[in-house]
Amino acid sequence: MDKILTTEGVPLYVKIREALRAEILHGNLHPGQKIPSEEELAQQYRVSRMTVRQGILELIKEGLLHRKHGVGTFVSYPHFDRDHTHLTNFFESAREQGIEASSTVLKIEISPAPEKIAQQLLLKPGESVICIRTLRFVNQTPVTVHDSYLPHRLFPEIIHEKLENVHLWDVMEKYGYRVKRAIQKLEARPASSEIAKLLDIKPGAPILYKERKILATDGTVVEFTYCYNRGDMYSLTVAMER
């Protein structure tokens, strides 16, 4: 990491910026990795710390790097952007962005519905629901813990389906329910120890927490979910008009 552009007339900070960008794009600096300090880079490239700092700031603005106060500057993880302008599932969003997506099932069980789940699914308290916990990956990095609750009476055989790397909405169609509408709530939260371990982040790290109710074309409530999304890798886009 000691070569910079030799193009005449290009400011030094741009050369530093592009040298660092190349290290990131070529995989020599990995997501989550701390880059050398400004002083180390200044000595390495034989430029001033101010020049290095300006180059780094350019990459921070682009989102390729981010700073942790008192710790250093790190390579950012690529963001998985969910476009909530229209209703798409996890795998559809990934395909649109050219991102490798996968999932693994951590738990699937039939249990009595807790009061809140029953209320959201329009069930009686204690009526059977299917709980499916999946861990979702973007480019082989865990990004979302997804807890789905389905009315057992609507999908009695779904526990026997192949659910890894498959979205539940696609499976629901086999039972005659096509997803049409979603109602959701979003909020920022610190990651619990359990969620942090699954997402490979530190306890207390920011996550985007989501609750979502899913309705089929006939108005039937088919799913209620709790989602825990990594704050450093997950973003949302929403279109608004006035």
| pLDDT (tens digit per residue) in 83-127 | 556 677 677 776 776 677 788 999 999 999 999 999 999 999 899
CATH number of the 80-237 domain: 3.40.1410.10
Domains 12-75 and 80-237 belong to one CATH topology: no
How do residues 173-186 score in pLDDT, each as one tens digit? 999 999 999 999 99
The pLDDT value given to residue 81: 61
CA nearest to 227, candidates 107, 147, 151, 150:
147
Average pLDDT over the chain reads 86
CATH number of the 12-75 domain: 1.10.10.10
Going residue by residue through the chain (242 aa), what tens digit of pLDDT does each one get?
A: 455 555 566 788 898 899 898 888 888 888 778 999 999 999 988 899 999 999 999 888 877 888 877 888 988 776 666 655 667 767 777 677 667 778 899 999 999 999 999 999 999 989 999 999 999 888 788 889 999 999 999 999 999 998 988 888 889 999 999 999 999 999 999 999 999 999 988 899 999 999 999 999 999 999 999 999 988 777 667 666 78
Q: What is the pTM of this model?
A: 0.70
Domain ranges, ordered by start, for the chain: 12-75, 80-237
